[in-house]
Amino acid sequence: MLAKLILLFGAAAICTALPSVNRMTGSMMMAGVLDELELGLAAQSAPAKKALETDTGGEAGISCDLINSVKPHHPLSRLLRALAEHIPNGPVSDVKCLSASQRITDVPIITITVGATKTTEGSDVQKFIQAKCEASRNRESATGEKVYHAFPKINIMTGELLQDAAALDAIVTKNRYTISCQLQSEAPFLDQEHLELLQTRATEQAKLEQPKPLRQTGLRHLTAQQKAQVPTFSPTTALIQATPSSFNEVQFMATKNVTCSSYVIQDQGGCGSCWSFAAARSYSDRLCRASNGRWNSAVAEQDILSCNMEGPFYMASGGRVTGPAGTWVAQNGCDGGNPLNAWLKMMQDGRSARWADPYSGVGGDVDKCGTVATDSVKFKVQTGEVYKVTAKDIAGITAAIYDGGSVAASMDVYADFTTWKSGIYIQANDEMVGAHAVAMIGWGSEGGVDYWVIANSWGANWGEGGYGRIRKGTNEVLIEQDVTFAKPALPSECPAKSCSNGGEIKKDCSCRCAGLWSGDSCTTCSATCLNGGTRASSGCACACPKGYFGDTCNEYLLSRWMTFNPATFKATIEWSFSLAAYNAGSRFIRFANVFGSEGNPTVGGTAVVISAATGTATATVDVRSALKGFPAKFFYVFELSLGTNEFGTSRGVSLKDLPPLEYDAVKKCLKGGHKPLTTTGFNVTASICADAVY
């Protein structure tokens, strides 16, 4: 549930989705409070002040110790009280700041994570509430120019305001904010000690999740002059008539027994490099199709990113764009780019395969252009073969995909798209977060609604396995406005060579085999399975024992009993882990029941955060503890944080279920999880149940 309070010229209005609020005093003072809060931030830190003045963007902390220690009449105390009125599932009391920061961009956003207590009416159960609140300001003058914040004058040493009430009221009317509070968790607590434990853990988690500076652009649109130079794709009548009512590039190539390496969904991370991923995916899909899978190479997004250059003019000949013209200069690709510019450079300078320049997520100022493995073939675009499709030309877009393969499409991204999971996306949120580029790979229809199929670059946990469907025919989020593609030049190297099972041809005409395949043509399976894994019955893969995963069972998440004191019923759980991917905020969390079961809450105060990809973590528990009405077992799940996308928005989490741990109250022994160790620090061997199976 999202509670939203909009402050406009000192007055307050509640969104229609919310129940009415009678007390408006806390809300009405919010704009003035935020003036002082933002001023305090600028005064505390020279870098923060510089960022605010120069509009370069940045991140600065606000002291929760200060906010929590001020006297009741202080503006910061009034801020917490005002937020309390709009925390979902209220009313709440004892609101405390857990973490606070401000993203200093042209759209300032103050983020405060708060904790509060709540007593349910008619019950003596007390709960600890955690919520994240944001205050953002984004407004323009009547002429469309940005209007920046007005500040009251203040004595920095004493905090005393140096203006009278009328002057302060005038400042309030110059500023407006949108305030939103979103519930993060509710957890019952038993006593003050338990409450303090929940507050401490929530504070640690909130600090880990402090927002990063927003990237407002991942895609740079072409100028009108540049667009005019690009030839328009003109499909023949026969091609349009041959185009089917539904199509999917991946499924089409599967009918030819070809699985292109470019089909693996990628993750651009926090770099604004969507354009390089769209350019690479469209190009690589078309290369794979044009060669019927022989050139099964995914072009390196990083090579495109590192070598990003931009300029105002294109060189043209015979109505075709044939390359850059004039002065083109290197640009930081993490600040945005355009697929068409990338393809123009590929007419002159080929790009390497993905394996030759793995993605690092930084621009060419750090990951230099040309720092690639030298044994990769260089992939180029045919001279003059880049095209645009007329805006909103549905028949032209479908014909372009059907004729040659995926295309690159620009789109506007709204907040609801960043968290979209499944179905056909139709914009339902007005909060635009930036421009984006994706590869468009097909189209279809479901329930009478036509849709486009896109391949995104936010990892496989976004949307439908990394793919998405967007309503077709309505120019939804401007997805049909700016569509481009390039025709790959088939490499001339190694004309007699081919590689099987997803292998790629290298510059010396040898094969670079995929996965666990090996041999001259990648037809030999050389799987060496680790940690007790065995060869799968088909294909070339490993079947891993419980708790192990990865290509060779090299990754693991193990949960086991470590220590136990029968007299106090206190036990220690140890987790050992080794992960190929890790992001801050990853943690072990406990559920009340088997993961995935209906009505299954998390157990408050039990999360254990990890700080590295490999290591161990522990938690001390009372083996008798369980929520009333749920099994007396410890159901833990590992929650892998997937980090943030280029707009600063969380990409969500990936969950991995762990075998439950259990205390048998009748036999007074332990079971479940993975087999305990007998090394130093473990003392549970004698306490393990005789019927425990590992």
Active-site residue numbers?
A: 274, 436, 456
Compute CA 241 distance to the chain's CA centroid, rounded to the nearest angstrom.
Answer: 40
Cβ–Cβ < 8 Å for 357, 373: yes
Q: Which residues contact 331 (CB under 8 A, 6 or more apart)?
A: 308, 309, 310, 337, 363
Phi and psi of 26, rounded to 5°?
Answer: -65, -40
* Preceding amide of 91 cis, omega within 30: yes
Q: Which two tokens stand for residue 232?
A: 């328009």
Residue corresponding to tokens 């009505």: 599
Residue corresponding to tokens 């590295």: 612
Q: Which two tokens stand for residue 126?
A: 């007390």
Phi and psi of 240, rounded to 5°?
Answer: -60, -40
Q: What count of other Cβ atoms lies within 10 Å of the Cβ of residue 336?
A: 25
Cβ–Cβ < 8 Å for 385, 408: no
Name the residue among 27, 23, 22 with its Cα closest to residue 11: 27
Cβ–Cβ < 8 Å for 478, 465: no
Proportion of the chain in helix, strand, coil states, percent, rounded to 5? 20, 30, 45
Cβ–Cβ < 8 Å for 437, 274: yes
CA dihedral 90, 95, 96, 98 (to 10 degrees): 10
Q: How many CA atoms lie within 13 A of 292 on its CB side?
A: 4
Q: DSSP per residue over 267-333, as a string?
A: B-TTSS-HHHHHHHHHHHHHHHHHTTTSS--PBPHHHHHHT-EE-SEEEEETTEEEEEES--EE--G
Which amino acid belongs to residue 267? D
Name the residue among 637, 674, 642 with its Cα closest to residue 657: 637
